[in-house]
Amino acid sequence: MSSAPWALRLWLGGSRALPRLAEIALARRVHRGQSSAPARLGERLGRATIKRPEGSVVWINAASVGEVASVADLARDLMAEGHRVLITTTTTTGGSRARQIDGVMHQYQPLDTARATGRFLDHWQPDLACFVEGDLWPRLLAEASARNVPLALLNARPSRSRTRAPKLNAALLSHFDLVTAQTDEVRDEITRLGMPLDRVLAPGDLKSAAAPLPADPARLTALRARFDGAPLWAAVSTHAGDEAPVIAAHLEARKRHPGLRLILAPRHPDRADVLATALTDAGLSVARGDMPGQAEVWLVDRLGETGLIYRLAPLVFLGGSFGPQGGHNPWEVAALGAALLHGPRVSNAAHAHAVLDKAGAAREVADAAALGAAVGGLIGSGQLSDMRAAAAQVMTDRGQTRPRTLAALRGLLAPDPVSTEVAP
């Protein structure tokens, strides 16, 4: 402890000394900020609301929707091998996505305090703990490590903090028995911090190996009939910084394509009212709910629709890339054969965007004017068909990431979990 970086010592000391009332107040603030169900507040304090099952439990800490999506199929693989899987999330939307995975247990991530993490680990006693991408919490790592829980960091992505705070990152990474990295470059970043070479693998990006997002076939058929072959594009996972450019781009592109329609799905559906007003103020007709009707813009104001959208729209703008969010997962778009447009700010998935850009499956647009020109130029063109074919080709080459990750995790797990097979 004395050799740990001062910032880490300060965090661990503060997380142990935090007064109980302050801890409760912090949990309430986080919980309400996520609009989470009041009855589940105790989970933020490490108080479980479901019983630990018999047998081995693999705990996966995945902050939000994107991280949960990246490990959903891996969770299914682990359950197929006889393990129970618990996913913890910080966000309510991440929790909703976790509960869509049949058989997975979900709890909210406990606060990174000594009391909350202690209660959580006392109850769950995980046989393996996995942290996804880069959401590393000092107290959780320290407490799990002290209990000899094997630790894996999955799908590690590029991080500027490894350069800015190398000692802190080295101290956090030292807890892990295994790190899987999205790229060789990330693996090299981590090993330069002192992580043993045999603990760091680069099997690829788990998000690229995820199964395509689901969609109800009957509903997809009904939606295609409603759009009736109209020129169509989509803007998905948008934030405030994306939406004014999207509206401006649509107004520009429809000059070239009369009858052009837009599917607009904000990242956070609770912003739909504000967005509907902006669309109406721009002179656009808006439909909300299950079906688009005849409106020019279908504003999707609920989660779980992206699998349908990517199958419907041949061209997709992926949000979070004009504002400060750093972009979202482009593999989900490519997996369903849609061509991709994105802004310049994609640090969260820079490698993925670079791969798709280089292959010709995606294209960067600098601003609203460039987005409008791209949409107008691509709709109905041979270039759009070429981009979609390139997306399909890229995705056929990325199928080994998940099996390699699963094989590495087997080495950290006890060999004989309780079998889930049904006796004849």
345 and 234 in a single domain? The answer is yes
DSSP 8-state secondary structure symbol assigned to residue 48: -
Distance of CA 383 to the CA centre of its chain: 29
Does 49 reside within a domain? no
350 and 368 in a single domain? The answer is yes
Indicate the number of domains in the chain. Answer: 2
pLDDT at 415: 64
- Residue 286, strand partner residues: 297
pLDDT tens per residue, range 344-355: 999 988 989 999
Does 422 reside within a domain? no
298 vs 292: CA distance, rounded Å? 5
192 and 249 in a single domain? The answer is no
| 247, two tokens | 């509206």
10-residue block means of pLDDT along the chain (424 residues)?
79 91 95 95 97 97 91 96 97 94 97 97 98 92 97 93 92 97 94 96 90 92 94 97 98 97 96 96 95 95 94 98 95 96 94 95 98 98 97 85 95 66 38
Does 4 reside within a domain? no
Does 241 reside within a domain? yes
258 and 180 in a single domain? The answer is no
326 and 350 in a single domain? The answer is yes
Q: Residues 234, 307: contact at Cβ < 8 Å? A: no
Does 381 reside within a domain? yes
191 and 151 in a single domain? The answer is yes
pLDDT at 245: 98
pLDDT at 160: 85
pLDDT over 70, % of the chain: 97
Q: Residues 63, 200: contact at Cβ < 8 Å? A: no
195 and 146 in a single domain? The answer is yes
182 and 306 in a single domain? The answer is no
Q: Dmax over Cα atoms in the chain, in whole Å?
A: 68
Does 416 reside within a domain? no
Does 415 reside within a domain? no
Rg of the Cα atoms in the chain? 23
Q: Residues 365, 371: contact at Cβ < 8 Å? A: yes
Residue with tokens 């912090």: 26
184 and 228 in a single domain? The answer is no
147 vs 166: CA distance, rounded Å? 26
367 vs 385: CA distance, rounded Å? 23
139 and 189 in a single domain? The answer is yes
Q: Whole domain around residue 160: which residue ranges?
A: 55-205+401-410
Strand ranges, E, within 247-372: 261-266, 286-288, 297-299, 315-318, 339-342, 362-364
162 and 193 in a single domain? The answer is yes
Q: Residues 356, 362: contact at Cβ < 8 Å? A: yes
Q: What is the CATH number of the domain that holds 372?
A: 3.40.50.2000
Query: Could you tell me where the DSSP H helices lie in 360-400?
Result: 368-378, 382-396
Q: What is the CATH number of the domain that holds 103?
A: 3.40.50.11720
Does 234 reside within a domain? yes
46 vs 215: CA distance, rounded Å? 35
180 and 146 in a single domain? The answer is yes
